[in-house]
Amino acid sequence: MLALFLLASYLLLSPEPWPVSLHIAKRPPDFKAWHDAELALPQNNASLPPPQGRQGRYVRFSNHYTHEGWGNVMQELLMNAHLAYVANATFVMYNYTWDPYARGDASLFLFTKVVPARTPMSALVAGPVAGGSYPEEAWRPPAVTPEFFEKICPEPTLFDVSRLKNESEIHPWTSASDIMDVFSAHIQTSRDNCMEFKADTGRIFDWDLFANVERMRSLWPTFKHSPILTEWAWSPLVSSILRDNYARIHPLAGDAESNSILPGLLAMHIRRGDFVRHCTRLADRNQTYQAFNAFEGMLDQFVPPRGWGGERNQAYYDAYRERCYPEQEAIVAKVSQVRMEALEQGRPLNRIYVLTNGDAAWTKDLERELRGEGEWESVTSSRDLEVDWEQHFVAQAADMVIAARAEIFIGNAWSSLTSNVNMLRVVRGVPIETSRFW
C-alpha cells in the first residue's frame, strides 16, 4: 500500500506525462485557457497611469487557505478581497489551491482521488475577486494576477500575520470589524506600494471567526453592501453546467446569469462523507451554527444542549447528529413539514434538488424515498448532473447557484457551503424565512 502511494505521489508531482500503461487515474484538467485569460487581463499593464500600473498600491494574500474545501476558501476569499477594497489597495488574485507544493497540475485528495492542484479563480467565479470591474460609484482598480504583481513588485513588504495579530492584541474573541480595521490600517500606512501577507504565517480571517455569529455581527452592516458581495458572480464554466442541465433541475435554471428565484424549487444540502466524524467534533466543541446561518429571523435555530465542560451522554451527541447528519427518515419528514409550511405561506413546492457529497447508491435511495412521500415534478441531485471533465471540478459551485436561487433552501447549519448560500440569499433580498435547517 505504501509503495502504491509513493508511486502515485511521484507520478502526480512529476512534470512529465504519466505512462499510459499504468492507468493510475485520468489526469485532471489544467484549466490553461482560464489561466491564459487571466494573464491577458488589460489591468496587467505596468504602463497604466496611477492608481494602476507601476504606481498602483497592491496587496497579495499568500497566506490564503490551501487543502480546504471550496466553502472555506470562498469565505476567506470574500473577506480578503473586502479588506483590500476597504484599504483602497488593488487585490492580487489567487488560485483555488489544493496543493501549493505540487510540481504539476495534479494532486491527491485523501490519498485516493486525483484532483487539480490549483484551479484559476476565474474558472469558478466572476466579478471583482476574479479581475472583473467594480461599479462606478464604488470603483477600485481591478484585481491583477500574481504574475503581474511579481513583475512590478520583486521585493514587496512582507507582513507576518501571526506577529501582527500579537502586536495588535487580536484575540480569539476579537470582532470581525476590529480585525478588518487593524489590518486595513497596516495596509494603508505602509510606505511601500507593494505588500504581501506571507504564506504559512496564519490567516487574518480564520474558521473560528466564520463560525461565530457574535464576532461577525459587527461587520455585516458594511460587508453586505461591499461590491465584493453585491457584484459577486459565477464563471461561464459554472454557468454552462446549469445551461446543460436545466431540464433536470428547473425550466428556468438555464439562465445562469439571473439571480431570480426558481419558483417551486426546494433545494437541500445534505453533507455526508467526513461529516460523520465532523459532527462529533462539533459536539465536542459545543459548536453553534456558522455565522451566516444565524441571521436574525432565520428559523430552525439550535441551542447546544447542556454538556459543555461536563459529562456528555449519548443524548447530547444525538442532539447534534440529528441536525448535523440527518438520516433518510428524518430528511423525508423534514421535507414534508417544510413543504406544508411553504404551502401555507403561498409558496407551493413541486421540485426537489439535493446538494450532496453522498455516494451514488445512497443518493439514489434518498431520491426514491422522497418521490414516495409526495408528488413532485422532479427529484434530482448533484449526482444526476451531466458534466464534462472541466465542469466536474467546479460542479460544487453549480450546486450553490441552484441553492441560492431556490424558493426554499434547507441547509446544514454547520457547513460553510450552506453559510455562503445563505449569505448570497440575504444579499440578494431573498426572504430570510425561506432559509431552513435540519
Joined grid coordinates for residue 411: 441547509
330-342 pLDDT, tens digit per residue, is 999 999 999 999 9
Ranking 195-199, 219-223, 284-288 by mean pLDDT, the lowest is 284-288
Residue 308 pLDDT: 54
327 in the same domain as 222 = no
- For 119, the 3-state DSSP assignment is strand
**Domain closes at, from 230, 264, 279:** 230
Which of 168, 200, 230 marks a domain boundary? 230
Tens digit of each residue's pLDDT (9 = 90 or more) over 129-160: 999 999 999 999 999 999 999 999 999 999 99
Tally of domains in the chain: 2
Q: Which of helix, strand or coil describes residue 290? A: coil
Same domain, 223 and 239: no
Q: How far apart are alpha carbons 403 and 407 in whole angstroms?
A: 9
Q: What is the pLDDT of residue 14?
A: 39
The per-residue pLDDT for 311 is 65
Are 144 and 45 members of one domain? yes
| Whole-number CA gyration radius for the chain | 22
137 burial level (CB within 10 Å; 0-12, 13-18, 19+): exposed
- Note down the domain range covering 396: 235-437
Alpha-carbon span 222 to 44, nearest angstrom: 29
Residue indicated by cell numbers 464604488: 138
- Mean of pLDDT over the chain: 92
Does residue 411 sit in the same domain as residue 337? Answer: yes
State residue 25's pLDDT score.
58
Q: Please tell me whether residues 132 and 112 are part of one structural domain.
A: yes
Say yes or no: 247 and 226 in one domain: no
Domain with residue 245: its CATH number is: 3.40.50.11350
Taking alpha carbons only, the member of 190, 214, 222, 173 closest to residue 58 is 190
Together in a domain, 177 and 280: no
Does a cis peptide bond (omega within 30 degrees of 0) precede residue 51? yes
Instruction: Calculate ∠ Cα 315-317-319, nearest 5°.
Output: 70
Per-residue pLDDT tens for 183-201?
Answer: 999 999 999 999 999 999 9
Residue 366 and residue 304 in one domain = yes
Q: Is 163 helix (H, G, I), strand (E, B) or coil?
A: helix
- 355-400 pLDDT per residue, tens: 999 999 999 999 999 999 889 999 999 999 999 999 999 999 999 9
User: What's the CA gap between 85 and 49, in Å, rounded?
Assistant: 19
Q: How confident is the model at residue 310 (pLDDT cuts 50, 70, 90)?
A: low
For cell 460553510, name the residue.
416
Q: Are residues 65 and 150 in the same domain?
A: yes
In contact, 411 and 403? CB cutoff 8 Å: yes
Regarding whether 285 and 226 lie in a shared domain, the answer is no
Interatomic CA distance for residues 124 and 132, integer angstroms: 13
Residues 205 and 255 in one domain: no
Q: Which grid coordinates are listed for 112? A: 485516493
CA distance 53 to 63: 24
DSSP H or E segment with residue 407: strand 406-411
Q: Does the predicted model carry a pTM greater than 0.85?
A: yes
Which of the listed residues 195, 230, 265 is the one where a domain comes to its end? 230
Confidence band for 307, pLDDT divided at 50, 70 and 90: low
